[in-house]
A and B are shown apart, each in its own frame.
With several copies, the nearest count.
Chain A
Amino acid sequence: MAEGLQQVLTPEGELSGELPFGIDETRRLYRAMVAARLYDRKGTALQKQGRLATYAPFEGQEAAQIGSAAALRSDDWMVATYRDAAAMAYHGYPRTLLVLGRMGDERGGSPPEGVNALPPSITVGAHMLHAVGLAWAEKLRGRDRIALTYFGDGATSEGDFHEAMNFAGVFQTPVVFLCENNHYAISLRRDRQTAAATIAGKAEGYGMPGVLVDGNDLFAVYSVTAEAVQRARSGGGPTMIEALTYRLGPHTTSDDPRRYRSGEEEAEWRERDPLERVRRYLAGADAWTPGWQKAIEAEESAAIEAAVEEAEAVPAQRPEDIFASMFAEMTPQLKAQQRTLLESLA
């Protein structure tokens, strides 16, 4: 069922397939990728300065995230991971909250009403089942929202991946599984994660279509995701997409990739930079200039700075707040513990 690799734009920026949209939309999504990269670099910088607790860079995976997120309707569900800030921000999860969460503040996990995205999953695997359940709920409630869930190549080894795929197949829930195969799970190479030829090929074992796509090709990712979303929305059931991509940076800011991969390999993938690919295409269509690049970088940087400032300006939670969200109403035990804490701080 897994077809050959889907590609629309070669790494050189040449068309090799059908464009899903025109120049204006391309420029809009290119800009979103630029913004994502700026955000990502800011994240690493902030962490190095001690202003974030941890950060998991996604540089190199912007097309996989933006291309797929762009195929969603704004009220669809997104269930993503610690590495999917580009997709989440695109789907409307406020950057301020993403930053706040990374600072180590629970309020980062609380998106505004109307943003249908769970807080980024830290555990590997479990969240795919949540997406299946959310999609199922929409189906049972007779609505046509779908759920898109992101996960890595490593996550495909977890039992929960299997159970999620299987439930989606059996109950035909409107869900799209998007695997960002960035070739590493921390230090483990994709070829040691599974002996399967492709991850997309695993879909057949669950009776659903599996699609292999060049994950650094914005157009191709959009196209295959849009098709899968359409299938889900129209009652055609789930799809799994494997987006071949690469994490150009470390696993997190405390990881050192030199321990497990070569500079040459990184350089090779740097050549396949998903932003540069679209930039070349736009330039070839006379729709990109250095001046425009500078302008959007300046504007997006300013927006990101503003989000960071806003996050950092959020006053600390009150000590009593650590008890206040365990249940709708605090139990007597929690109330007593809250009192004890407040007394001890008095």
Chain B
Amino acid sequence: MAQAINQALDQAMAADPRVMILGEDVGRTGGVFRVTDGLQDRYGEDRVVDTPVAESGIVGAAFGLAVGGMRPVVEMQFMGFSYPAYDQVISHVSRIRNRSRHRFTAPLVIRIPYGGGIGAAEHHSESAEAIYAHIPGVKVVVPGSPGDAKGLLLAAIDDPDPVVFLEPIRLYRAIKEEVPEERYTTPIGESRVIRPGEDVTVVAWGSMLREARVAADLLEEEGIDAELLDVRSLVPLDEDGLISSVEKTGRAVIVHEAPRTAGLAGELIALIQERALYSLEAPVARVTGWDTVFPLKRSEHLYLPNPQVIARAVHRVMAA
């Protein structure tokens, strides 16, 4: 997936001189995950900018660059280091269009590697998508495959409004998949059925898709036919896609890595019961991280949802 993102950035920069990249260590070294590898050599230090260590500064300056006519793509090194920039996002990036009634706009993309599973130090494994999804005025997308990473990122760069682009760290090097060479976009706001099924809808995004897919395989062996839905776009959400799947299956399990309380599963469940309560044959189940700090390496397996836990939740909703 890292390569697909790199390719998307490359194509965007080649096509549009306004596109530029800012972040910590994105230039000289190509980023701690090598996602921007080679781009500074290709496009120069003015367009691939190694910034001082200052996240609010990066996003705040990128805001000004965007209002001033550039198309900045900024990288936060890890989600756990994006919080110092939260104020700039919620107070300004998301609002300038509304504040100025369309007179000024801030079309920037904020790339944030997120999620656990690599045994990293504290602050390097977080999934705080909910705090971004709650901000009116930004879109939030999460690719679950290299193909989507490329298409969604190009769509995000094209988008006339700010997009928070979440990159599942665990998938950077995990998935080998041929990605079409040419430039293409994947529309923001559309979910995707990854695996059709009749018995239960499993909803996930990012690296949880992989876990859910394995769970679906396990379940298949038991004769349970799970439909796997990749939300992809957390904001705006493809409500129709979600509802029609649940209406078909009558059961649902929502999976996310983030802590449970006030996590996005709540939002999805609220929508499901608002529009499909009478189709529900069982309570929608949540499989999520716990309401704890993300544990360090030795305990992270206790925290992260895995195929077994997902399968067990499916058993529960099938039994109800």
Contacts and interface: CB of A to CB of B under 8 A. Distances in A.
A325 B101 contact: yes
Contact of B312 (A136, A141, A333, A344): A344
Given A187-B50, A326-B136, A130 B64 contact: yes
B57 A129 contact: yes
Given A53-B119, A167-B57, A170-B52, A135 B309 contact: no
Nearest to B108: A133
Contacts of B57: 129, 157, 159-160, 163-164, 166-167
B89 to A, nearest CB: 11
Interface string A263-277: 000000000000000
Interface in A309-346: 316-317, 319, 321-323, 325-328, 331-334, 337, 341, 344
Given A106-B99, A325-B97, A166 B52 contact: yes
Contacts of B96: 118
A326 B120 contact: no
Interface stretch (B147-155, B222-230, B287-295): B287-295
A259 B91 CA distance: 31
Given A129-B64, A188-B53, A337-B260, 19 more contacts: A104-B119, A104-B121, A106-B98, A107-B101, A109-B103, A110-B103, A118-B104, A123-B92, A126-B92, A127-B92, A134-B67, A157-B53, A166-B52, A192-B52, A325-B100, A327-B139, A328-B97, A328-B161, A333-B236
A133 B121 contact: no
B189 interface: yes
A104, A135, A321, A332 — most chain B CB neighbours (10 Å): A104
Nearest to B102: A325
A106 B296 CA distance: 7
Interface stretch (B8-16, B206-214, B298-306): B298-306
B61 A136 contact: yes
Say which size band chain A's interface belongs to: 35 or more
B180 to A, nearest CB: 26
Contacts of A255: 29
A322 B299 contact: yes
A103 B61 contact: no
A332 B189 contact: yes
A260 interface: yes
A85 to B, nearest CB: 14
A38 interface: no
B198 interface: no
B236 to A, nearest CB: 4
A110 B101 contact: yes
Interface in A230-274: 254-256, 259-260
Given A130-B63, A137-B69, A158-B54, A54 B120 contact: yes
Nearest to B289: A337
Contact of B290 (A53, A122, A341): A341
A140 interface: yes
B52 A188 contact: yes
Contacts of B60: 126, 128-130, 132-133, 160, 163-164
A147 B261 CA distance: 37
Nearest to B98: A325
A167 B87 contact: no
Interface of B: 20, 24-25, 27-30, 32, 46, 49-57, 60-70, 80-81, 84, 87-88, 91-92, 96-105, 119-124, 136-137, 139, 160-161, 189, 235-237, 239, 260-261, 290-293, 295-300, 302-303, 308-309, 312
B92 A328 contact: no
A186 interface: yes
A317 B295 CA distance: 11
A188 B27 CA distance: 9
A319 B101 CA distance: 14
A155 interface: yes
Interface string A91-122: 00000000001011111011101000011001
Contacts of B55: 158
Contacts of B124: 122
9 contacts: A137-B68, A140-B20, A140-B46, A141-B69, A147-B64, A155-B53, A170-B51, A187-B27, A322-B295
Contacts of A188: 24-25, 28, 50-53
A185 interface: yes
Contacts of A194: 52
A58 interface: no
Contact of A160 (B51, B56, B67, B102): B56
Given A322-B303, A323-B290, A326-B291, A332 B239 contact: yes
A106 B121 CA distance: 10
Contacts of A198: none
A138 interface: yes
A259 B302 CA distance: 37
Contact of A110 (B56, B100, B293): B100
A332 B160 CA distance: 17
B114 to A, nearest CB: 16
Contacts of A323: 290, 292
Interface string A196-214: 0000000000000000000
A124 interface: yes
Given A188-B53, A326-B137, A133 B64 contact: yes
B291 A333 contact: yes
B307 to A, nearest CB: 12
A107 B299 CA distance: 12
